[in-house]
Amino acid sequence: MDYRKRLTPILILLIATAVGSPSENEPEVRFHSRVEWTEGVLVVNGETEVEPEYAGATARAERRILSRRESAFRRAVLELPINSADSGADLAARDQEITAILDEREALGTASGVRPSRDLNSASVELRYPLAETIASAFQRHSIPRPVPSSASWTPTTDYTGLVVDARGTLPVHGEDRDSTLEPVILPRIYDSEMRLILDASMIKPEFLERWGIAGYSTDANLPDFEERIGPNPLFVAADRAFGSLPANPVIPHDTAEKLLTRDSNREMLAEGRIVIVLDSAVLDSAQ
């Protein structure tokens, strides 16, 4: 899905202006971005022409790209789907601190060495930014999390070390007469089948929100990559539905939610963001 279509014309102009245009005698720098959801990384790739008439032309190209990295990062983040209703630009328009925070967080990104093209006519630099540390905690800022809801009903359960939500394939969209794949976003929410909010970013402890966000995304092939996050005894559940203007929020069965909300240790696990959402690899690839 092209989330840029959701940006207002004024914000599009501001984003384009922020990136900057090359001077009259300088080659243009082109930036492209994608999200590697399973790794939790925003990748911004900058490319420009190499000017062979200059000594150290490749190094000159690298400096040109890196001089624009802050504005390229900001533009990429503003185009991202942050939650099921808002892009980064939507939220930044309502909260003026976000842009300043993003400018500070850009320094947390790492840059590859410059890479000349095969024909040596251009060069590129890849910039990588951890989604949780640089982005998630910029859009959800709190020092004290809201409590994860509790349930007074008695449900047989145990202590779980994580939650794995299988949302592969197409799901009914709550409140709409259609099916859809679940879309990855930076800050998803989890509901139960009675549309009770089970978890959102405001309930995640800040140190865990910055460490790995509210949920990781995976395919069924790479769950071992999340062993530290979900531990040896995660609860596996299939999503019933998807919810949201952008169908990004998984809906889990009510009885499964009760297993989580009736025990303090399980609510603590949720508050630490020990959650993985499993999607088809084609969905994660297309969402980049």
**Are both 113 and 218 inside the same structural domain?**
no
pTM for this structure? 0.89
For residue 52, what pLDDT is reported?
A: 84
Average pLDDT over residues 90-115: 96
Q: What percent of the chain has pLDDT over 70?
A: 91
Task: Give the C-alpha separation, 208 to 204, whole Å.
Answer: 7
Quote the pLDDT of residue 14.
44
Residues 174-222 pLDDT 10s: 999 999 999 999 999 999 999 999 999 999 999 999 999 999 999 987 8
Are 209 and 242 in the same domain? yes
Question: Is residue 285 pLDDT above 90, yes or no?
Answer: no
Report how far residue 122's alpha carbon sits from residue 141's, in angstroms, rounded to the nearest whole number. 40
For residue 223, being part of any structural domain is answered with yes
Residues 115 and 172 in one domain: no
| Contacts (Cβ under 8 Å, ≥6 apart) of 169 | 181, 280
Q: Is residue 61 part of a domain?
A: yes
134, 168: one domain = no
Confidence of residue 15 (pLDDT cuts 50, 70, 90): very low
Is 25 found in the same domain as 71? yes
What mean pLDDT is predicted for residues 222-237?
A: 94
Q: How high is the mean pLDDT of the chain?
A: 91
- Asked whether residue 128 falls in the same domain as residue 221, the answer is no
Residue 172's SS3 state is: strand
The pLDDT assigned to 243 comes to 98
Domain contains 154: no
Listed residue (52, 73, 71, 70) closest to 61, CA to CA: 52
Is the per-residue pLDDT at 18 higher than 90? no
35-87 confidence digits (pLDDT tens): 999 999 999 999 999 988 777 899 999 999 999 999 999 999 999 999 999 99
- What's the CA gap between 230 and 208, in Å, rounded? 13
User: Which of 116, 273, 286 shows the shortest CA–CA distance to 207?
Assistant: 273
Q: Please indicate, yes or no, whether residues 194 and 88 belong to a single structural domain of this protein.
A: no
Shared domain for 76 and 200, answered yes or no, is: no
State the pLDDT at residue 9: 46
Cα→Cα distances 184→147, 165, 229, 272, Å: 24, 13, 18, 19
| Measured distance CA(62)–CA(57) in Å, rounded | 9
Q: Where are the alpha helices (DSSP H) in 86-129?
A: 88-94, 97-105
Reported confidence tier of residue 273, pLDDT bands at 50, 70, 90? very high
Domain that holds residue 193: 162-286
Helix (H) or strand (E) holding 15: helix 9-19
Query: Are 211 and 248 in the same domain?
Result: yes
* pLDDT at residue number 12: 43
In the predicted structure, residue 138 carries a pLDDT above the cut 90: yes
Q: Hey, what are 233's tokens?
A: 């005894």
Whether 24 and 132 share a structural domain: yes
- In this prediction, residues 239-257 reach a mean pLDDT of 97
In whole angstroms, give the CA distance from residue 32 to residue 170: 29
Q: How many domains does the chain fold into?
A: 2
Residue 133 shares a structural domain with residue 260: no
| Position 253 in a domain | yes
Confidence of residue 130 (pLDDT cuts 50, 70, 90): very high
Residues 243-258, mean pLDDT to the nearest whole number = 97
Residue 10 has pLDDT above 50, yes or no: no
Note the pLDDT of residue 222.
Answer: 80
Alpha-carbon gap, residue 139 to 102, rounded angstroms = 9
The secondary structure of 26-82, three-state, reads: CCCEEEEEEEECCCCEEEEEEEEECCCCCCCHHHHHHHHHHCCHHHHHHHHHHCCEC
Is residue 144 in some structural domain?
no
* 22 and 100 co-located in one domain: yes
